[in-house]
Structure 1
């Protein structure tokens, strides 16, 4: 968006008033144009729904990121509250930041996708293996891990669907610190995504040599680790696109005055980080999250297959050295359509006061932005809308061919 350089000579009097000035050279050529990946219509959808959610739940702030998982193009990056760059002096410097890339938070259960990727890739579990979830209370050293809804035996698939922290901890114990840390780094946490914007934060991931058993357990459900909204969105894109890590970017191309394309910025060499089979398996698990009974059911988009993960995290209070139950981040990160994802969308709402769960606060934002974006670009529905009658018959017992009793 910058043309060729030129100059203007100005003659001032003693009172700093201009007396005479030259004009721009008429022979100076018109500069090239920089095209961005941002789609103004999708940006409008994201900004509108983000504002509605922050106000509805009386939250402090929020971000929405819409990204093409196949090439890393950022189609929307919304922050609320926003500010007018032309009037920046009238607002607090706190609001100048692009919080989608500068601010870090503990992700909560959205981080479970990293744990599951590490377990499935190493073939440590099958999705039908069952794990005992201790009826909602599990002691790790001197600390106790709780589940919001106490449950006994759950399949690995249901641990994801119901977002069981205890189930995640038990999976993590079998994965181990070194393997889990290696996958955290594979997904790009603890380092910049290299987006072409200034001020990006790295997040924080401590060396596994410093982890205690409690630290490892907490990391399994997204505590003790800090990430940016963009990092979490890029991680979900790796699953959506078949297991490849792409570099996010907002610059699309440079066009000459004559209309020729001088340079493009699309990520031409995405880095494979997991097997396509692992990606497909994760897609199936994440699709169940937004189905009936899952924590992300409010994110379901009528007529489209959607996959994603909810997150509900608490903020760490450095004064009390404990987690503040009244402050945290409600998030949902997902993609659609499942088979050939067009969008991956991350929604992050900070310190909502009228509700706290990611599925309740951020799920509806994902649904509205996703549905409007899909219709806007002309993606036809990929599933029929049907009404399912409840079966009054008792559920039949299912026996599994392979059982991991943890």
Structure 2
């Protein structure tokens, strides 16, 4: 008897040890192969839904640590396979209960109930209200007349959970740059998408549970979950300047009702982007409403540069000895013919001149002079010009940067129009980075991260050419088409641009749809390089010098106060 009992104990112990070994082995296997197991399960059973819980997402801050995006835990109400629940009266009751409790729109909830999705998030709420919300959901099944809970139980299809929610404390500020976070916790655009791995602490997304035929959850927790350290993303943006630029953008929108606006400010020497805003913008806390406007118009959209291209053309011609500073360029009183089309200079000063200097070409923005100069360049030289200032390739700073579009420069007519910025298209950040190279003599890769080392490459451009360009661009503001950007205390250098937009329907350039620019630097020894682009402004006298230049002046004055710039006008 005693021997038999001992054998039974040994057998039970052996069986338990074997089962433990199998369980541990299974857990280790799940730890290593968890994702694969769940994916196979999802393929094997059509009713399996994989549910991934959003992880903590690190903050995004400005250069001084001011939060621009934060994560915090919230409770949320979600359904699973709600389309299988057929009690319409209980559905309506649930909608009433949740609408009253969480201040929601009852009709919107009923619309969500009709979706044929495995799982639907209905609402979020403060974490401390979890028990209250859970009780409210359960109360829908309670029949006070009978004094008991009645089937079918709606609470079997609706539950509460916990997740992290993203919050943007400054709403629309830099929204198109920051992007947004989707309901599943993944980045939906902008920097949130570009730096997803860093913000979450790694690529691996652990499957937490699956739902199988409404019979509960299978948890797949790794034995030793690898440590995932979410790292804060410290941007180069300066909140003070960003806020000032946002206000300038709003003023532009109020005054001109444009289709788009882009304003970018970068440090000339380091390439650090200190402010970046676009319009239309959106509130990333409410992405459902503004989804069409979530893209970054400063990097995705292409614009013809118009007269802002002329400084590149003149600088190249000077550097290569095609012209000298005193070379006279024949403009025939501001009139020429290109491919049977008459081209005229709009500035009255130019209509009195048969010849102009390269300086006058830029100061008064002569289209005729630029065309005459551009036709002196061969196709190979024009391509070299674009390559010299890196206009032929994007800086590759932000995801989704659209590469430039460049017409076939072997065609002489294309070269003529390219000289005045037609047939070439760049995104705004690309144009700004190349302009910064022009006025500093060094190509500096723009950077959006404060802790990133500047990437600098000298340009094969002589100091004398750079000095001449800077001096002439200051004269554009002091005496020429950019006079409305002039300030009392600081020298500003820059170039206006007014680009007619090509009308695909009419197959010609429009006289009514324009993109206006001012791209410049300040003070005279550049500390900042900036661009203001206003697309399709509405009103009268719509030129770069009348639309964008006055707001560049405001930008300079605000930046001077923020950074305590020493006046350089004596």
TM-score when normalising by structure 2: 0.60
- Say whether 1:157 aligns with 2:359: yes
When residues 19 and 162 of structure 1 are mapped into structure 2, their CA distance, relative to the original with a 3 A threshold, is same
Asked if the contact 2:312/2:438 (under 8 Å) is kept, the reply is no
Deviations 1:33-53 (A, max 9, x none): 321111111111111112211
1:317 aligns with 503
- Say whether 1:62 aligns with 2:248: no
- Say whether 1:352 aligns with 2:553: no
SS at structure 1 position matched to 2:546: helix
Mark the runs of 5 or more structure 1 residues left unpaired by the alignment.
254-264, 385-406
1:330 aligns with 516
Asked if the contact 1:146/1:166 (under 8 Å) is kept, the reply is yes
In 2, distance between residues paired with 1:18 and 1:288? 72
Deviations 1:182-228 (A, max 9, x none): 11122222322111x2110002013422x23x211111110111111
- Say whether 1:295 aligns with 2:493: no
SS at structure 2 position matched to 1:87: helix
2:243 aligns with 44
Aligned-pair CA distance for 1:124: 2.3
Selected match of 2:306 from 97, 108, 112: 108
2:457 aligns with 270
Asked if the contact 1:133/1:151 (under 8 Å) is kept, the reply is no
Asked if the contact 1:51/1:81 (under 8 Å) is kept, the reply is no
In 1, distance between residues paired with 2:219 and 2:337? 80
2:341 aligns with 143
Larger mean CA deviation between 27-36 and 45-54 belongs to 27-36
SS at structure 2 position matched to 1:364: helix
Deviations 1:309-363 (A, max 9, x none): 0000010011111011110100000001112x11101000000111420011000
2:279 aligns with 80
In 2, distance between residues paired with 1:240 and 1:56? 31
Mark the runs of 5 or more structure 2 residues left unpaired by the alignment.
1-57, 59-198
Asked if the contact 1:345/1:370 (under 8 Å) is kept, the reply is no
In 1, distance between residues paired with 2:252 and 2:409? 37
Larger mean CA deviation between 8-17 and 31-40 belongs to 8-17
SS at structure 2 position matched to 1:184: helix
Deviations 1:270-290 (A, max 9, x none): 242422221111001111100
Whose Rg is larger? 2
Deviations 1:64-113 (A, max 9, x none): 010112121111111012101232221252x1110100000111000001
Aligned-pair CA distance for 1:15: 6.8
In 1, distance between residues paired with 2:414 and 2:244? 39
In 2, distance between residues paired with 1:246 and 1:127? 27
- Say whether 1:32 aligns with 2:228: no
In 1, distance between residues paired with 2:262 and 2:268? 18
Selected match of 2:554 from 368, 376, 385: 368
1:233 aligns with 432
In 1, distance between residues paired with 2:389 and 2:210? 57
Deviations 1:143-187 (A, max 9, x none): 211110223132221111000000111122223332122111222
Larger mean CA deviation between 80-89 and 171-180 belongs to 171-180
Selected match of 1:120 from 309, 318, 342: 318
- Say whether 1:200 aligns with 2:398: no
When residues 7 and 183 of structure 1 are mapped into structure 2, their CA distance, relative to the original with a 3 A threshold, is same
1:181 aligns with 383
SS at structure 2 position matched to 1:175: coil
- Structure ranking higher in helix proportion: 2
In 1, distance between residues paired with 2:531 and 2:216? 51
When residues 52 and 10 of structure 1 are mapped into structure 2, their CA distance, relative to the original with a 3 A threshold, is same
TM-score when normalising by structure 1: 0.83
In 2, distance between residues paired with 1:367 and 1:17? 64
When residues 173 and 7 of structure 1 are mapped into structure 2, their CA distance, relative to the original with a 3 A threshold, is closer
2:468 aligns with 281
Deviations 1:109-131 (A, max 9, x none): 00001101111101222223322
Asked if the contact 1:298/1:367 (under 8 Å) is kept, the reply is yes
SS at structure 2 position matched to 1:54: helix
Selected match of 1:91 from 279, 283, 290: 290
Asked if the contact 1:343/1:370 (under 8 Å) is kept, the reply is no
- How many residues are aligned here? 364
What RMSD in Å do the two structures reach over aligned CA positions?
A: 2.5
